[in-house]
Structure 1
Amino acid sequence: MAQKVVVIFSGGMDSYTVLNKALRERHEVFAISFNYGQRHDKEIDYAARACRALNVHHKVVDISAINSLVGGSSLTSDIDVPEGHYEEDSMKQTVVPNRNMILISLAVGYAVSIGASKVYYGAHSGDHAIYPDCRPEFVEKMNDVCKIANYEEIEVVTPYLHDSKIAILTDGLNMGLDYGMTWTCYNGREKACGKCGACQERLEAFEQNNATDPLEYEA
């Protein structure tokens, strides 16, 4: 019998690769996406579409009420999204306080309720310097807590924790994944902006893989 697992699925390229990796490990995957008050819900729309295409259980949870508690980020508040490649000072503006700890906690509760044993999320090495809740030490401590927080032990799985976005894309391309099914841009316009740090990092990953990004860009 396939093991049930929960995948935190934003609709972006990292979590899309994680989702497909879990499927290829022959798990019964339950994807969960969160509306936490981010400035657009385009990623969630992409997540829903990908799950329909993959025939994956998908739950979208509205936790936007927490926006009043975890503001101050350009992803959730009325602050301009910084442009250009990831630089620590500017990209700190995109940090949503305690986001992954909150989302993992909710996903663990969901896992317990459906009898799943693992929660997957897409932390990777490129995020370590900027996002504290993507660092290996955070994942290690969360794993410790999630194994004792309930009667059931839940493992937090981060298959790309020590890999770059370039390496994640390499793995996904080797799996034959269609990244036109994902949205990465911090702006939610019709086309990806091509200028924000998320777009810049994504485009660089495709360039380093000698591949063409199937998304349409404004620039």
Structure 2
Amino acid sequence: MTKTIAIVSGGMDSVTLLHLLKHKGHEVEALSFDYGQKHRKELDFAWLNCGKLGVKHQIVDLTAITPLISNSALTGSEEVPDGHYTDESMKVTVVPNRNMIMLAVAIGYAENLGFDQVAIGNHAGDHAIYPDCRTEFVEALSEASQLGTYNKIKLATPFTDISKSDIAAVGNEIGVDYRTTWSCYKGGDKHCNTCGTCVERLEALDEAKQIDGKSVIARLTV
């Protein structure tokens, strides 16, 4: 049985990843991160899904470093923009080196437990905007992790080459209830449906209806 630490934000991608790992028979523990994000509400949804699946879940407090990574609309004073996720304006939602910080903690935890790998739910739609979601980054970090740990901890990124719509199709196939996920970056009580993540969420859920989730799962390695 593969032993995996899953990074679970509470959003569509990471919650689908969590369900997929359980579906594939992994032994799973989950980490979420409070880094001072405006949309901290997402952590409640991470907790909810881990509870439903019987997965041990911990929230790591990174708020001490929030001032060091405040050059982002998610952690600083700038407003989260509306508009499509691929628009130039959405670059203001990049949190400096966020995935590297989270993955470093998760890799250390995996090594501490004697686990095999850390899994993260980055996908092909992230590549244009987020440097720490790109294939080159995750491959390099996986190699560094294996070099830097006795247990040769790997980085699992099964969604790197597929779209968010494909991810939603996978989730539909394995029973993810997307009503129990949170995407909006604005930190309100409801999804605003106008920010980039909300727009992308709605598009993905609609497009997933036309995608065969079984065929996508068959292509995934995790």
TM-score range, shorter chain: over 0.9
Structure 2 letter corresponding to 1:105 = A
Instruction: Report if aligned partners of 2:30, 2:55 keep a CA contact under 8 Å in 1.
Output: yes
User: Which residue is 2:84 aligned to?
Assistant: 85
Structure 2 stretches of 5 or more lacking a match? 211-222
Contact kept in structure 2, 1:108 and 1:119, CA below 8 Å: yes
Q: How does 1:1-219 map to 2 (within 5 A)?
A: 2-210=1-209
In the TM superposition, what is the alpha-carbon distance from 1:111 to its structure 2 partner? 0.3
CA offset at residue 153 of structure 1? Answer: 0.3
Give the C-alpha shift of residue 40 in structure 1.
3.0
Contact 2:116 2:152 in 1 (8 A): yes
Q: 2: CA distance between counterparts of 1:15 and 1:87? A: 20
Q: In the alignment, residue 102 of structure 2 is paired with which amino acid?
A: L
Deviation of the 1:209 alpha carbon = 2.4
SS of 1:102's equivalent in the other structure is: helix
Local SS of the residue matching 1:7: strand
Distance between the aligned counterparts of 2:167 and 2:205, measured in 1?
A: 11
Superposed CA offset, 1:88-112 (max 9, x none): 4211100000100111110000101
2:84 touches 2:195 (CA, 8 Å); kept in 1? yes
Asked whether the equivalents of residues 115 and 151 of structure 2 are also in contact (C-alpha less than 8 Å), the reply is no
**Displacement, 1:188?**
2.0
Give 1:54 deviation, angstroms: 1.1
CA drift of 1:14 comes to: 0.1
Report the counterpart of residue 217 of structure 2 in structure 1. Answer: none
8 Å CA contact retained: 1:88, 1:129: no
Structure 2 equivalent of residue 214 of structure 1: none
- Structure 1 portions without partners, runs of 5+: 212-219
Provide TM-score, normalisation by structure 1. 0.93
Runs of at least 4 residues of structure 1 off by over 2 A?
A: none
Where 1:199 maps in the other structure, the secondary structure is helix
Please tell me the residue identity of whatever aligns with 1:21: L
For 1:136-181, what per-residue CA distance to the aligned partner results, in whole angstroms no more than 9, with x for missing partners? 0001100110001122200000011000001110111111211111
Aligned to 1:216: none
- Paired AA for residue 131 in structure 2: P
Aligned residues: 210
**What is the CA distance between 1:63 and its match in structure 2?**
0.7
Counterparts of 2:186 and 2:69, CA distance in 1: 19
Q: Which moved more, 1:145-154 or 1:7-16?
A: 145-154
Could you say what the CA RMSD is over the residues aligned between the two structures, in angstroms?
1.1
Give the TM-score, by structure 2 length. 0.92
C-alpha separation in 2, matches of 1:135 and 1:84 = 22
Partner-residue secondary structure (3-state), 1:34? strand
Normalized per residue, the structure richer in helix is: 2
